[in-house]
Chains A and B, each alone.
Chain A
Amino acid sequence: MDPLTLDTLRTLAQSLGLALSDEELDGLLPLVRTGRAMMAALPSEALRDIEPACQYRLF
């Protein structure tokens, strides 16, 4: 996966209707990059047949 750039993040923010300054986007960029890297590192094969844990009530 290509690393997220400031320009891409700005475009994403605009598409969500968020008017963020360059300074704000600069602060967000490493956090979103880290999050995406963690998601990308999850083992896709192991997760493929796992039902998402969306059932709240255990009993």
Chain B
Amino acid sequence: MSDLVWTSLTDLARAIAARDVSPVEVVQAHLDRIAALDGKLKAYLTVMADAALERAKAAEAAVMSGEPLGRLHGVPVGFKDLYCTKGVKTTGGSHILADWVPDEDATVVSRLAGAGAIALGKLNMHEFAFGPEGLNPHYGTPWNPWDPNTHRICGGSSSGSGAAVAAGLCPGALGSDTGGSVRIPSALCGISGIKPTYGRVSRAGVLPLAWSLDHVGPMCRTAADCALMLGAMAGYDPRDPTTSVLPVPDYTAALTGQVKGLRVGVLRSFFLESTGVALRHAVEEAVKGLEGLGATIQDVNLETANFAPAASYAVLSSEAYAYHEAWLRERPADYGDDVRQRLRVGAFISAAEYLKGQQARALIRREVDGALAKADVLVCATTPIVATAVGQGEVTVEHEKLAVRASLIRFTRPFNLTGHPAASIPCGFTAAGLPVGLQIIGRPFDEATVLRVADAYQRATDWHTRRPPVDQPRPVAPEGRPA
């Protein structure tokens, strides 16, 4: 295989099982690329080079001896640094946990290892997952691979996961999503990611941000890879009492390439009105593309989406404060300024406000359920803006100044409140070459349909195959100095 770092996770698994390529070659190719590019990209916080190579050799031996192989046998993956990894530092992107070494794996880490996946390392993130930009004052902010000249955000909080997958530093990674933290970096980095239904994937051994909003999800370059990874980690877990006992379908088998007759609801008001022209155009073209594949299109309004910021303020802030209260009292200086300040807001929310937020949440869920009774999936932009420069607090969209942080989570957080599955896939680029994400929302526990739509779209388009300009040499000025 000519270019291992750009080969999909699905094809790598197939090639390894067929003995076309050795897991050692695959792992080494990714380690070499991390060594070459990650000094700038800052996607990884810990690279597990020795352990990964050791596991790759064992995986190679298993292939050669004809042992039964897991569906991800020999394939390297990365973990956002809030997944507990036995014997390996798990910082949560924080200074507070800078030296914490868990004594057991998160359930999803164990399950992916059980399927044969090899951990390449732990990935950078917004401190304690509390920020949609993906900034990190302690370890450096990951660099969005799509702009080699300007330090742009990757989106967060799973910023390292987004950068690593987009730049070919791993074919798949785990993110976590409390307000959009899988989908936002997927959109801003031009990759595919899915936040499954609340309860579909175990959160045991995952550092929480807000227990009732946290979701675990895969981030890969294709929807088919997300399906493969999700299938390996979903399902009931006695360590997480919120996981569902519903059986896990074969997500890969659900990728038929067919969407004929499928009813697609397009979220326009709220979800498209405050979106820039280029993004709106990309989403409208994607909708036309789905229509061209045989889907039927209808407009859908979600009036209660306007309640999401208030519900999120009450619920997320309260739950996050409850988790961090002791550290905030004892070690406030160890937090980054932005995270410390926003965590403290939770101290001033009353129990009545928390429950009012939960009431608003129930209302939103009821409306989304109603919309999905008439449509099989809903679609909209994942974010109303593309990747901004690091440190940029505002962006102008159609003569309107918008706060970057609030804009990034505007379209994603309603579905954390409702728990519905939601994916983001690339659906275009701006004139400046920055990726645009299409969000696809489905019925509870119907990830299969969400992934089927995403995969059918990717079979008909090539947005997901484009590569960021990280391999291009820097332009050289006429006098011979780097420009």
- Which chain A residues have a beta carbon within 8 Å of chain B's beta carbons? 9, 12-13, 16-18, 20, 24, 27-28, 31-32, 35, 38-39, 41-43, 46-47, 50-54, 56-59
Contacts and interface: CB of A to CB of B under 8 A. Distances in A.
A39 B444 contact: no
A28 B307 CA distance: 22
Interface stretch (B123-131, B258-266, B339-347): B339-347
B476 interface: no
A53 B420 CA distance: 14
A24 B345 CA distance: 11
B469 to A, nearest CB: 38
B362 A53 contact: yes
30 contacts: A13-B348, A18-B329, A27-B341, A28-B341, A28-B344, A28-B345, A28-B348, A31-B342, A31-B345, A32-B345, A35-B310, A35-B317, A39-B313, A39-B353, A39-B356, A47-B360, A47-B363, A50-B362, A51-B362, A53-B358, A54-B355, A54-B358, A56-B199, A57-B199, A57-B242, A58-B197, A58-B199, A58-B244, A58-B419, A59-B445
Interface of B: 197-199, 212, 241-242, 244-246, 307, 309-310, 313-314, 317, 329, 341-342, 344-345, 347-349, 353, 355-363, 365, 417, 419, 444-445
A49 B361 CA distance: 13
Contacts of A20: 344
A42 B244 contact: no
B341 A46 contact: no
B242 A56 contact: yes
Contacts of A43: 307
A5 B288 CA distance: 51
A12 B329 CA distance: 16
Contact of B359 (A18, A32, A53, A58): A53
Contact of A56 (B212, B245, B359): B212
B341 A39 contact: no
A24 B342 CA distance: 11
Nearest to A18: B347
A40 B477 CA distance: 57
Contacts of A52: 355, 358-359, 361-362
Given A39-B353, A39-B356, A58-B199, A50 B345 contact: no
B341 A42 contact: no
A59 B314 CA distance: 25
Given A18-B344, A57-B242, A58-B419, 11 more contacts: A20-B344, A32-B348, A35-B348, A38-B310, A38-B313, A39-B357, A47-B356, A52-B355, A56-B242, A58-B199, A59-B199
Contacts of A13: 347-348
A32 B362 CA distance: 23
B444 to A, nearest CB: 5
A58 B241 CA distance: 12
B362 A39 contact: no
A9 B347 CA distance: 11
A42 B362 contact: no
Nearest to A41: B310
A54 B348 CA distance: 21
A9 B309 CA distance: 22
A50 to B, nearest CB: 4
Contact of A59 (B246, B307, B353): B246
Contact of A38 (B242, B309, B341): B309
A8 to B, nearest CB: 10
Contacts of A51: 359, 362
B325 to A, nearest CB: 10
Contacts of A31: 341-342, 345
Contacts of B349: 35
Given A56-B198, A58-B198, A46 B314 contact: no
Contacts of A59: 199, 244-246, 444-445
A6 B77 CA distance: 48
Nearest to B347: A16
B300 to A, nearest CB: 20
A59 B342 CA distance: 33
Nearest to B317: A35
A27 B200 CA distance: 38
Nearest to A51: B362
Of listed B307, B348, B363, B445, residue having the most chain A CB within 10 A: B348
